[in-house]
Chains A and B, each alone.
Chain A
């Protein structure tokens, strides 16, 4: 037969335990007051690449600007392992805002990692040289709206990233039309990267969107004009916006529909 031991209510052990419990509660309450629960917002990835060499391209600064503006999002300025990872469950498939800055051309966008070098996101297998089954590179056609529909804004920040291939498809068009992202942006000309071009456009665009609550269309165009004024009349390609879902707003922070 099991022995049930009842401790006397007035025992010192019981008093100590009650005191300990009270202290724990007090400490927890103090912590709760001093450190109110911080809600983690929807994830935003600003993905940079740093191509080496004295004339190499480094988009880290631009992505740091974007990350800093996305207050309320769980935002990261980050270098993805490769292009396929950038589209995977740790990035695009868990993102409200997906923004990649790097070299691009008609039908594809690239990122750079010191281990994997340049890796590619092609619009589809219809882009010349595309290999949608590549280990580190990928195609938008590999993904579905079920995986991507929670993206509110997807930015392909590179030269000619919004230009259409021969069948009329483009990165931002496919993202919006087939992957269910709420809004997407690319460019149909060369775009400059520097603190007075890409950093300024991205900073102004997100300022208009996050602080002034402008929709993506008005934010992107306002920022383009700002670049031209800052640079003595040169848009540096930022007036070649290719945009879908222009009425979408990125504030308040939220996933896409």
Chain B
């Protein structure tokens, strides 16, 4: 039984009624039906965070809707977390740097990997079938080993992801991300990569637009229907200053892999 299930079971045994509460607007997505209460959300996060975290010290906001799920935001005592209001999964956690963590030993790549794996094992979080990767990233005054597990099926990135960030100086896990949603095995896209990129370039327009990256992944509509989409990252020079400095622009374009409908999701 997972930690989350134990906490929920404890609540049920104590007589707390966790009745399914259908929020006013689920968009018809059954995965967005709110099951978890706010107080249970705080209890789950406190237990998940461990240490001295207490549910009474945590404030709960929401639930709010994201791209693939509905979640509570649980915050306080230096902790921040998001927890799925339907499944009860802890979707993210950031732990504060404390005197205890500062006293820890610096990480190496193997020790960071072991620390991250222990973080998941200690919380009964499975990585079965996922592909693990590790990279060291500088963050200015600190650096981080990012240990990531993801899954690609038939060339499609599916919603199954774990990320644990280990501070390279303290050797401690300080951030965690979890994404999992049931999906149907993706088929072949009607719009291939070249066609998707051409549509994205056309949408941004202008000359000199370059494709930086393309990724095929699963997405969901507000009603919960599964989609296959291309995310195409583009760059181009948008301006030149009098000194000759080229001002770069970046765009992410989503192209529906079934219909070819394209839209700019972010610029930068």
Contact = CB atoms under 8 A, between A and B. Distances in A.
Interface in A96-148: 103, 105, 108, 110, 112, 117-120, 122, 129-131, 134, 136-137
Contacts of A120: 241, 243, 245
Interface stretch (B6-14, B18-26, B75-83): B75-83
Contacts, number: 170
Given A225-B80, A228-B177, A231-B67, 6 more contacts: A57-B268, A103-B249, A120-B241, A120-B245, A172-B140, A214-B78
Interface of A: 51, 53-57, 103, 105, 108, 110, 112, 117-120, 122, 129-131, 134, 136-137, 158-159, 162, 170, 172-173, 186, 188, 190-194, 196-198, 208, 212, 214, 217-218, 221-222, 224-226, 228-233, 236-237, 239-247
Contacts of B206: 55
A117 B241 contact: yes
Interface of B: 64, 66-68, 71, 73, 75-76, 78, 80, 82, 91-94, 96-97, 137-142, 146, 159, 161, 163, 174-177, 179, 203-206, 219, 233, 238-252, 264-268
Contacts of A172: 140
Contacts of A192: 252, 265-268
A139 to B, nearest CB: 11
Q: Is the interface of B mostly helix, strand, loop or mixed?
A: strand
Contacts of A245: 141
Nearest to B75: A212
A232 B66 contact: yes
Q: Is the interface of A mostly helix, strand, loop or mixed?
A: loop
A81 B265 CA distance: 29
Contacts of B250: 159, 190
5 contacts: A134-B243, A188-B138, A221-B174, A224-B175, A226-B82
Contacts of A246: 97, 141-142
Nearest to B83: A229
Contacts of A130: 243, 245
A170 B141 CA distance: 12
Given A191-B268, A229-B66, A129 B244 contact: yes
